[in-house]
Amino acid sequence: MKKKVIAYNRVEKPVLEALQKKYDTRFFKNIDTKNDSDFLDHLSETEGIIGLELVVDHDLLKRAPHLKIVSNVSVGYNNLDIEQLSKRNILATNTPDVLTDTVADTVFSLLIAAARRIPELDQFVKNGDWITEAIEPEHFGVDVHHKTLGIIGMGRIGQAIAQRAHFGFDMDILYHSRTRKPDVEKKFDATYFGLDELLRTSDFICLITPLTPETTGLIGKREFQLMKNSAIFINGSRGKTIVEQDLIDALKSSELAAAGLDVFEKEPVDSDNPLLGMKNVVTTPHIGSSTHETELKMSELAAENLEAGLNGKRPPNLINPTVWTEK
């Protein structure tokens, strides 16, 4: 009898088809996981879960007595209750590394787009305004090159952003993280700052931390007030790492010049969110890793993690290694 697997929300087609050949794999997308009878029936016998954004908590785990592994198609895993998974000796995995450069590209594109007002001026041309109105100083953006970039979170993605900024745009790199990284300081001529000092000093601020209890609401009213009025804030982490209303207030009061956001407190973002009506805010729908090449690589790595766990082998990207024992 084939092992049962649940695929949820996002597994690239070639990978999903390969899993369906090997396992009794059912794909579900954006369902009510607490009440969908097909999902719950399959969950009661499933040994593996692969996918994106499925909340795996105590309630779900009570309904999955045979579960061996949960494989996130994401580098983030705030949807997983690691404590509950570990208590049940269930393996949890993610997909780091393969998306590093793609997410860094996204974050840096938001930075450039906000600085040079690309979306706003794109609409200026498309609306026909350029025909009757010349470009005036009020349409000008600001330079990116030779400015100071503050990076909050100097993991793999933070380092990839620093690489683009330092070598591509001759920017001065400041960073703040849980620990100092001498190799990063040497490679990018970067300087470690305390958070407050980084906020006061930087022309551009990129937030790229994982969402944890410590980073939830990390940037709020006080932090936005510390930033230069000319600063541009970029969030490529998770929406709840900032207090979104405080960002809105800072932009409305001109305490902050502009923002670029790939993530929001609530996703999908509500259509009446004030951020969507602000010309100085560049928005994207959480597309950090969303290229054809990278999404396929992430699905392939997630499937590799899944199959290892299903077959008694150590997955290559194990989040909770304390549950692993050699078979």
Q: What is the pLDDT of residues 76-127, one digit of tens each?
A: 899 999 999 999 999 999 999 999 999 999 999 999 999 999 999 999 999 9
How far apart CA 85 and CA 201 sit, in angstroms, is 42
Calpha distance 34→41 (Å, rounded): 11
pLDDT, average across residues 25-34: 94
Mean pLDDT over residues 255-271, rounded? 96
- Please state the rounded mean pLDDT for residues 160-183: 97
> Active-site residue numbers?
238, 267, 286
Q: Could you tell me the pTM of the whole model?
A: 0.91
The mean pLDDT value of the chain amounts to 96
Looking at residue 1, what is its pLDDT?
Answer: 84
Amino acid at the residue 194: G
Predicted confidence (pLDDT) at residue 326 exceeds the cutoff of 80: no
pLDDT at 325: 74
How far apart, in whole angstroms, are the C-alpha atoms of residue 203 and residue 172?
10
**Percent of the chain having pLDDT more than 90?**
97
3-state secondary structure of 291: coil
For residue 285, pLDDT over 60 is answered with yes
Q: How far is residue 99's CA from residue 73's CA, in Å, rounded to a whole number?
A: 10
Q: Fill in the amino acid letter for 263.
A: V
Tens of pLDDT along 183-220? 999 999 999 999 999 999 999 999 999 999 999 999 99
Nearest of 296, 318, 306 to residue 98 by alpha carbon: 296
Which domains, and CATH codes, for the chain? 4-98+293-323 (3.40.50.720), 100-283 (3.40.50.720)
